Structure 1
């Protein structure tokens, strides 16, 4: 009895509740509700898997956080974070100045270039001149939408927006688009699929614009949550240094996705 009272008194003194003593801090991890291979996609049983799922599990384990996967519609994911429906975003979200006006980010956890794909044999450059007069598909509320509107839409291309990346890919395969812009890894996954390998090919990488495309992908966090940000940054650094990051990455990639 006296030992129990002492534990309760100690917990009160350092500001820890009884629930916190028994359980790790629970965190709702938001990401896009649609498949985005090889980063996130549901298996036949509806369980989410992919590189970013493995990354999330490794970071949460290192940071001693009880993370709950919480799929959210992509175009509402930042409002879901700021309204506390989710606690963090691990969903291939690029760190940009525009987003930093609303939310905060962890350190980057990967950085890959932006590519453009088209129909096999189309042969055009992923430049304003090469895409002039063509229709290019992008996912709504992404850095690719912003980039395509600025560099291609203002120079003679038609930019068509889609709720999901898969919808854009499907319209390209069906001949309703001339091109699709997205992260090069996501596009590579489509080009290796049964449908993609027969219809489409990589046209090249767009010219980088860090102000739009960002300085890599980070974990989205509400502003002011510096303690959580510190835990996540420490966890990212730790899994990079102890080899965990490389171990699960090798299941998906034959190159360093972390980038320069």
Structure 2
């Protein structure tokens, strides 16, 4: 029996529609993207030992040279001794990288947070987190709460100062690009322009030679200077927290780095489980003994 042309066309059209519906129903559907984690990173990008690092399978960590105590010991970041070396290896371990998978790189302090693409995965070098620096680089969560301190030669006029007001008429010095220099300019507001040095070594030499009355450095560095480098100097005092969130050192990463969330997560975990506190107690235990300058 032959079908009428109109009936035949309807039958063929119906068959095609049915086949298309079946094909669409079986076609793979696009996967929903994973929701970002609280850190801004996706969970699967923080796979232990499998981060998108500069060198696959390795974690490249930078710091300045020389590497000073108490942050590092014997100018050897690779030995795991000193506060920042210990923190760096603890972060690496949290990320799934053993000591043999860590590669160290020398990067000058100011270059670490200058604009431009970085050759390291993160830098650890007593770099304080600030909104200005965040314009050029990313920071991890803070790994150390910082206080700035004043160091002067024993028996000097500066050594007898008990408050911020007493510092204003003095010649003060600090390393360029540091919050130590910011503290002089913004907190002390001296009547004489601060002396600025490329390195803390130059500031220490200026203090020993009488070119400045006192220098400002972070508190742990102040303890090391007075204990081992300029033994005829003493800590005049530390500056109090000016309210709000404390100044913190953070690990420096490339702007927009895919690792920022993972590295912050590692730092947060080390703070939560007490690791950072234990490392601080071992290497920076003296940092609570300086009088507060008000």
Indicate the TM-score class for this superposition, using the shorter chain for normalisation.
0.7 to 0.9
2:37 corresponds to? none
1:210–1:73 distance in 2 versus 1, CA, 3 Å: farther
Checking the alignment, whether the CA contact within 8 Å between 1:108 and 1:216 is kept in structure 2 is yes
Most deviating of 180-189 and 44-53: 44-53
Partner residue, 2:133: 99
RMSD: 3.2
- Show structure 2 runs of 5+ residues with no match: 1-43, 289-294
Contact 2:143/2:271 (8 A) holds in 1: no
Which has the greater radius of gyration? 2
Q: What CA distance in whole angstroms lies between the structure 1 residues aligned with 2:197 and 2:81? A: 23
TM-score after normalising by structure 1: 0.76
Q: Match of 2:133, SS?
A: helix
Question: How far apart are 1:135 and its partner, in Å?
Answer: 1.4
Query: Displacement, 1:181?
Result: 0.4
Q: For residue 32 of structure 1, what is the aligned residue in structure 2?
A: 64
Once the 2 structures are TM-superposed, how far is the Cα of residue 134 of structure 1 from its aligned partner? 1.9
Per the TM alignment, residue 185 of structure 1 is displaced from its structure 2 partner at its CA by 0.9
Q: Which residue matches 2:255?
A: 223
Matches of 2:136 and 2:71, distance apart in 1? 24
User: What is the distance in 2 between the residues matched to 1:145 and 1:192?
Assistant: 22
Match of residue 233 from structure 2: 200
Unpaired runs of at least 5, structure 1: 1-13
User: What does 1:97-136 correspond to in 2, within 5 Å?
Assistant: 97-122=131-156, 123-125=160-162, 127=164, 129-136=165-172
Residue 141 of structure 1, CA deviation:
1.1
3-state secondary structure, aligned to 1:155: coil
Query: Structure with the greater relative contact order (CA < 8 A, sep ≥ 6): 1 or 2?
Result: 1
Question: TM-score under structure 2 normalisation?
Answer: 0.68
TM-aligned CA deviation for residue 232 of structure 1 = 1.2
**Shift in Å, 1:24:** 5.8
Partner residue in 2 for 1:141: 177
